[in-house]
């Protein structure tokens, strides 16, 4: 399953946003616990200091001092260890129960044991803690938003040459005579990328021109001697001194030359399709085109064509390639159809299907569209017709497929070889 695609700047901004929020939250939590620890230490230090002051006062003045609930001094019969804890105490001044941090312990002064308790209100320190964290979060959030937009703007400016050059590469065609033009950049990596792209596209343009020239040369150089050979053979046919054996050999040679010419023609066609030399596109109704092709075939084959469904099928492609695609499919169906049986044709909104009779399914249907693949031993088969169909479909994103449908109602156990092309709906 392919991952959803995102723009570079969008993904970089999202990563910055997520990372920034995570760092901000971690920093806020760390600040909270660190500040809380500092405040608690400060309160405990203050409590120990107050307790020492009270103990010193009791040495010089044994009169009991008490400032409830902050300081409580009372005589005690027991000696208790120092105890530090949180406690809830009612504060009459504020008329509510408050949380205090409390330090208590006993001290023997002038032969008398006193229990000294000092307290500090925790609520005030908590308020200070929350205020510090809130201010920190507010400031860091404002700074984060500012840095986010600054970083986004900076990235857009930084990556601008890349996006400009990306558009130039998309618009570039190897068929063009002009070289690829890229925007210069002071970034070393972008500059190296520009140099490599310029070098690569220049090489591809040269290779394309050489291949195109080679294709044209091959077409010309092979067709001419083949035509001469065929003409010479036809001349020899007029020689009355030929015996039957010589006549058969010349007929076989003439058949081989026709196959060679057809093979050469189809290989050149494949090369032209691969080189994208068919660029014109138009919208037309495929039914009309196939009707013209069927009329031509009706004069050449005893097979009957039966149109089962005639839904108007509109496609957008090069009409010459569409004619080749349909001709090859129809020719394949005619070639392998059982004599006198009907060839079935079916149109839907997006598909064209042609079916011819057959005894059994292909042994290796996954290779049926491969170049030079043949299951039949027929000599007039070049093994390129269906591969040309596949190449044309690949050119436009169409989907060709093969299936075999058994005919259980037929006593001869014949089925149908079905070739279907799924077209992309024209817009």
Whether a cis peptide bond, with omega within 30° of 0, leads into 69 is: yes
94 close to 69: Cβ distance less than 8 angstroms: no
- Interhelix angle 319-336/385-396, nearest 10 degrees: 150
Q: How far apart are the C-alpha atoms of 202 and 180, rounded to whole Å?
A: 8
Is the four-CA dihedral 331, 336, 341, 345 of positive or negative sign? Answer: negative
Cα-based distances in Å from 90 to 71, 104, 105, 291, 301:
14, 18, 21, 101, 111
Q: Please name the residue that has the structure tokens 């044309």.
A: 392
Q: CB within 8 A of 191, min separation 6: which ones?
A: 184, 185
Q: Please, what is the Cα angle at 352 between 347 and 358, to 5 degrees?
A: 105
Q: Please, what is the Cα angle at 351 between 421 and 361, to 5 degrees?
A: 50
pLDDT of residue 229: 84
Cα-based distances in Å from 41 to 36, 89, 172, 348:
9, 21, 70, 83
pLDDT of residue 226: 82
Tokens of 183: 């925007």
Tokens of 72: 């409580």
Tokens of 192: 């190296």
> Phi and psi of 167, rounded to 5°?
-65, -40
316 close to 283: Cβ distance less than 8 angstroms: yes
pLDDT of residue 426: 45
Range 55-60 contact pairs with CB under 8 angstroms and sequence separation of 24 or more: 55/107, 55/109, 55/116, 58/107, 58/109, 58/110, 58/114, 58/116, 59/109, 59/110
Please choose, from the candidates 57, 63, 61, 118, the residue with its C-alpha nearest in 3D space to the C-alpha of residue 87: 118
Tens place of pLDDT for every residue, the chain, 427 residues? 566 777 887 888 888 888 888 888 898 889 888 888 888 888 888 888 888 888 777 777 777 667 777 888 888 888 888 888 888 887 776 677 778 888 888 888 778 888 888 888 776 677 788 888 888 888 888 888 888 888 888 888 888 888 999 999 988 888 777 888 888 888 898 889 999 999 999 998 888 888 777 777 776 677 778 888 888 888 888 877 778 888 888 888 888 888 788 777 777 777 777 777 777 888 999 999 999 999 888 877 888 899 988 889 999 998 988 988 999 999 989 888 887 788 999 999 899 999 998 888 888 888 888 877 777 666 566 678 888 899 899 888 899 999 998 876 655 657 889 999 998 754 4
Helical H runs in 275-318? 286-298
| Burial of residue 114, with CB atoms counted within 10 A of its CB: 0-12 exposed, 13-18 middle, 19 or more buried | buried
Q: How far apart are the C-alpha atoms of 341 and 336, rounded to whole Å?
A: 11
pLDDT of residue 325: 92
Q: How far apart are the C-alpha atoms of 358 and 27, rounded to whole Å?
A: 76
Q: Name the strand (E) or helix (H) holding 406.
A: strand 399-406
On the CB side of 100, how many CA atoms lie within 13 Å of its CA? 21
The helix/strand/coil state of 307 is strand
Q: How far apart are the C-alpha atoms of 410 and 227, rounded to whole Å?
A: 47
């Amino acid at each position: 399953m392919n991952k959803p695609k995102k723009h570079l700047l969008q993904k970089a901004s999202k990563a910055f946003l997520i990372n920034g929020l995570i760092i901000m939250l971690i920093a806020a939590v760390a600040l909270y616990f660190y500040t809380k620890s500092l405040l608690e230490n400060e309160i405990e230090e203050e409590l120990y200091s107050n307790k020492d002051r009270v103990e010193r006062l009791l040495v010089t003045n044994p009169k009991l001092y008490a400032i409830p609930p902050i300081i409580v001094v009372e005589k005690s019969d027991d000696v208790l260890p120092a105890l530090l804890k949180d406690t809830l105490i009612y504060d009459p001044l504020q008329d509510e129960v408050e949380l205090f941090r409390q330090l208590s312990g006993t001290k023997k002064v002038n032969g008398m044991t006193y229990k000294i308790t000092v307290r500090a209100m925790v609520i005030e320190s908590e308020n200070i803690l929350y205020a510090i964290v809130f201010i920190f979060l507010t400031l860091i959030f404002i700074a984060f938003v500012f840095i986010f937009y600054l970083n986004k703007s900076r990235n857009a400016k930084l990556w601008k040459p890349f996006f400009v050059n990306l558009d130039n590469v998309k618009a570039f065609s190897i068929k063009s005579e002009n070289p690829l033009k890229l925007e210069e950049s002071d970034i070393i990596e972008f500059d190296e990328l520009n140099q490599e792209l310029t070098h690569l596209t220049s090489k591809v343009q040269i290779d394309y021109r050489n291949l195109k020239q080679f294709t044209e040369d091959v077409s010309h150089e092979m067709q001419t001697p083949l035509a001469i050979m065929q003409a010479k053979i036809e001349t020899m046919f007029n020689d009355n001194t030929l015996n039957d054996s010589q006549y058969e050999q010349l007929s076989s040679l003439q058949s081989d030359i026709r196959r060679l010419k057809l093979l050469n023609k189809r290989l050149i066609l494949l090369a032209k399709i691969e080189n994208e030399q068919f660029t014109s596109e138009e919208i037309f109704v495929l039914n009309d085109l196939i009707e013209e092709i069927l009329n031509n075939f009706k004069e050449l084959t005893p097979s009957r064509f039966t149109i089962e469904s005639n839904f108007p099928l509109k496609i957008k492609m090069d009409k010459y390639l569409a004619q080749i695609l349909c001709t090859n499919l129809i020719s394949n169906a005619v070639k392998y159809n059982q004599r006198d049986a009907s060839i079935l044709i079916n149109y839907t909104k997006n598909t064209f299907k042609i079916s011819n009779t057959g005894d059994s399914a292909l042994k290796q249907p996954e290779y049926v569209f491969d170049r030079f693949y043949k299951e039949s031993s027929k000599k007039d088969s070049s093994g390129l017709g269906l591969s040309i169909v596949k190449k044309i479909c690949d050119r436009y994103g169409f989907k060709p497929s093969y299936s075999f449908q058994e005919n259980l109602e037929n006593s001869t156990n014949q089925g149908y070889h079905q070739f279907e092309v799924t077209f992309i709906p024209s817009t």
